[in-house]
Structure 1
Amino acid sequence: MLKSGYINFFNVDKCGLYRMFSDEPKHLRLAETFSKLSAWKQERNFEATNPWDARKYRNKTPCYWHEVHFNKVNGDYLLVLWKGDSDRHGPLYGITINPDGTTEKAIKQTESNSNKPMVWGRPCYYWVIPELNMIASIKFDNSRTDSKMFQEWVTGCINLRVDLPEAKKITTEKEFVKIEFPADKDDNYRYSFQFDLSMKSLATSSVEMKELAKKVTHIIKRETVSIKAVDKRRGFAKFFQRFEVPYTSAENNSSRQVELRIESKPTPAEIKSIIEAYAEDHEPGSWERTGFAVEGTNSIVWASKYRLTQNMSLDDGGSDIFGAQELYNYILANRDVYLEPIRKDERQQQEAANA
């Protein structure tokens, strides 16, 4: 059966051990970080790849490392993580844990009749691209993407689990992990591991974005908001409960699809920021969208047009969960097609900088 998905790309703004106020890491750039993570993973059973003690870090979403594939030629990694989940929005899957710590094939909750311990959740697919210093998330209908969780999981693994033989880890009173290098007599500094991502969009130097900025008259914001419960999200949605809603005769009278039109003339940099915020919070094709009304037309230019994303469609081979090597083989066959828009955008940035 064919499954359709889409790829979102992220810049790796920081990855490594940083001194305070430093922009350059001492160690653990992207390739080294995932090399150490992969070596650590090989020595752990499934349950031991969640970096957080559930009793101590109750606010952390459990996240486990299911599979990894490494391409020795180009240095790419394909990770299949397992996000602990219990909601009912879409199919829920369970991974059976055997007494020796190994796992069995993930199965739908509705098909489960096993008495063995299970970890319930959904897969998360991440493509690590050290060549471009980027991460890509891959989303299917039955999977999840959570860049915040991914950043926290990588940081948690490095800080709390992965052994760094040449370094000494110190936990402060406020439970921050600091890293020292006692064998280096010329280095008396303390470092912290940082892993920060930002959504990749077209550069503000692109011709398209500059032309858009000249014509924008309004920012369009669509949200689905509750008219009963308190909405804790940022922005106008949390205030919607204050308004009386007439003619609430729809079948579902607990929420409404709302469109807000704000008069605005954003700069290219501000448009880029809006696009990146949109891409993090919304999925393609949903009602919840952000866009721009432009002068001289009644149509809306949706921010997703300027997001660097790719669609994919591949046969699942009868399995609901893709294996790391299986998914990467498909990516590898289309790798140059997926990465060419990014390379083109980088060339445009370089040309603009040299102009």
Structure 2
Amino acid sequence: MDKGSISFFEVQQFGFYSTKEHKAVYEEGTMESFIGSFCDWVKGRDFNQTIPWDTKAHPKRTQIYCKSISQDPITKDTLLVLWRRFGDDSGKVSGIAPDAKVGSDANDSIKIDPKVKGQSAFLGQPMYYWFIPSRNVIATINFSHSSAMTKDVCDYIKRCLDYRIDHPRKKVNESEGVNPNTSKAIIRKFITYMSQDSKRAMRSKIHVSTKELNSDKANAARLAQRISHIVVRDTISTQKSDDKDSFFNLWSKVKGKKTFSKHVEIIEEATLSESEVAEIIEVHNKEYNPLDKWNNVGFREAGNDTTRWFNKYVSREQILLEPLAENHTYYAADIILKELTRLREDLLVQIPSEESKDKDSDVGEENAA
């Protein structure tokens, strides 16, 4: 199975803001409305038309395109498969021969310029982004074949909104300037939006920060006080010995095999710090395979022979999907969103909904009163 690790980002700004005393003041707009407008804009477009700026005018800017979208009609959760392009506008990417030596010889570099239907392919990697309006968070789903660039993705969606998506109160002012990259004359656009009462100018803003999920940290602090033994289950290979008559051989009941696997369990006393437990949880989270019925890491408490396994104490911020077909390079958005929706309650258990936040706030106010 292919594991996708999920990282959450808390939304700080996602809407239209005016400025008052040098501070951004929220006016209107939501993640749901922004992403809805974006999805409407990309639907039916050619892939190379989903980038909102002129790539020749901005050769150093990371090129991002949209390949696949899926939206849940009930929760309004949206999964975007974006494409981070490698190389310049010609599609060419350079590489180094694997047997190259360290040094200044430039003859062992390689130019990659694949063609698809007579055109240079857009070489790159997929990026999977999960937008969750009801929790005010964005999440990345990272597989071994994908990448993530959250700030660039936020900038990409903002530019799509500003440059390409219609809005009834959008104001575009133009001025002449010079492109610092090409020294050519360009037209600069300054984009603002007017408030509903037409009294204030607004700017679109999308800003997120890493969402701190504390369950692993809390578990580490709690378990460090309880653990007396570490339990490791693993599988090792044993080579068959041929120096005895087969009748007396340990493995004689199994014919034709030279190498055997057997299960081992190691139990060792341990006094662990909070940071050491946190490290075990982190490594276990990366390496644990829920389909493996034996290999695992656990612990015991003093005076208790019951083994508890660390997978019960690890945050569930991951999904498992069938490996990509040999000729496929990314998952379609609906495949990922279907699995996220199936596991949604477990994945979001530590992230309160906006409704529960409001209830907590009301309780706090009542207690204060």
Aligned partner of residue 349 in structure 2, secondary structure: helix
Q: 1:296 to 1:33 in 2, by over 3 A?
A: closer
- Alignment of 1:163 onto 2:186: no
Aligned to 2:198: 187
331, 334, 347: which one aligns with 1:322: 331
* Structure 1 pair 297–40 and aligned structure 2 pair: CA distance change class (3 A): closer
1:213-269 residue CA offsets vs partner (Å, 9 max, x unmatched) = xxxxxxxxxxxxxxxxxxxxxxxxxxxxxxxxxxxxxxxxxxxxxxxxxxxxxxxxx
Which residue of structure 2 aligns with residue 233 of structure 1?
Answer: none
Instruction: Report if the CA contact (8 A) 2:115-2:121 is conserved.
Output: no
Preserved CA contact (<8 Å) 1:18 1:25: yes
Could you say if the C-alpha distance between residues 194 and 113 of structure 1 is closer, same or farther in structure 2, counting changes exceeding 3 Å? closer
Change (3 A) 1:110 1:203: same
The correspondence for 1:200, drawn from 211, 221, 232, is 211
Secondary structure, aligned partner of 2:119: coil
Contact 2:62–2:85 (CA<8 Å) still a contact in 1?
yes
Aligned CA distance change for structure 1 residues 111 and 166 (closer, same or farther; 3 Å): closer
TM-score, length basis structure 1: 0.60
User: Please, what is the CA RMSD of the aligned residues?
Assistant: 4.1
1:38 matched to 2:39: yes
Q: Residue 321 of structure 2 aligns to which amino acid in structure 1? A: L
Q: Within 2, Cα distance between the matches of 1:147 and 1:201?
A: 16
Where does the alignment leave 5 or more consecutive residues of structure 2 unmatched? 88-92, 96-111, 178-187, 223-271, 283-313
Q: 1:169 to 1:3 in 2, by over 3 A?
A: same
For 2:26 and 2:347, how far apart are their aligned partners in 1? Answer: 29
Contact 2:114 2:120 in 1 (8 A): no
Q: 1:301: Cα distance to partner? A: 4.6
Alignment partners' CA distance in 2, 1:352 and 1:198: 25
Which residue is equivalent to 1:313?
320
Q: Distance in 2 between matches of 1:303 and 1:19?
A: 47
Distance 1:74 1:297 in 2: 38
Identity %: 21
The residue matched to 1:60 in structure 2 has which SS? coil
Q: Which residue of 1 aligns with 2:118?
A: 115
User: Aligned equivalents of 2:338 and 2:9: distance in 1?
Assistant: 21
**Separation in 1, partners of 2:38, 2:116:** 34
CA gap 1:304/1:161 in 2 versus in 1, 3 angstroms: farther
Contact 2:11 2:209 in 1 (8 A): yes
Following superposition, the deviation at residue 10 of structure 1 comes to 0.6
Give the superposition deviation at 1:165.
2.9
Question: Where in structure 2 are the equivalents of 1:227-266 lying within 5 Å?
Answer: none
Higher radius of gyration, 1 or 2: 2
Task: State the alpha-carbon separation in 2 of the partners of residues 111 and 308 from structure 1.
Answer: 41
Q: Does 1:332 align with 2:341?
A: yes
The answer to whether residue 136 in structure 2 is matched with residue 136 in structure 1 is: no
Instruction: Give 2:128's aligned residue.
Output: 125
TM-score, length basis structure 2: 0.58
Provide the secondary structure at the position in 1 that maps to 2:73.
coil
Residue in structure 2 matched with residue 217 of structure 1 by the alignment: none
Matches within 5 A, 1:21-170: 21=20, 23-86=24-87, 115-170=118-173
Distance in structure 2 (CA, Å) of the matches to 1:47 and 1:190: 32
- Contact 1:308/1:342 (CA < 8 Å) preserved in 2? no
Contact 2:316/2:346 (<8 A) preserved: no
Q: Which has the higher strand share?
A: 2
Secondary structure of the structure 2 residue equivalent to 1:144: coil
Q: Secondary structure of 1:19's partner?
A: strand
Question: Does the C-alpha gap of structure 1 residues 110 and 298 become closer, same or farther in structure 2, counting only changes over 3 Å?
Answer: same
1:166-177 equivalences in 2 (<5 Å): 166-170=169-173, 175=188, 177=190
Residue 126 of structure 1 aligns to a residue whose secondary structure is strand
2:7 aligns to what?
A: 8
Q: How many residues align?
A: 252
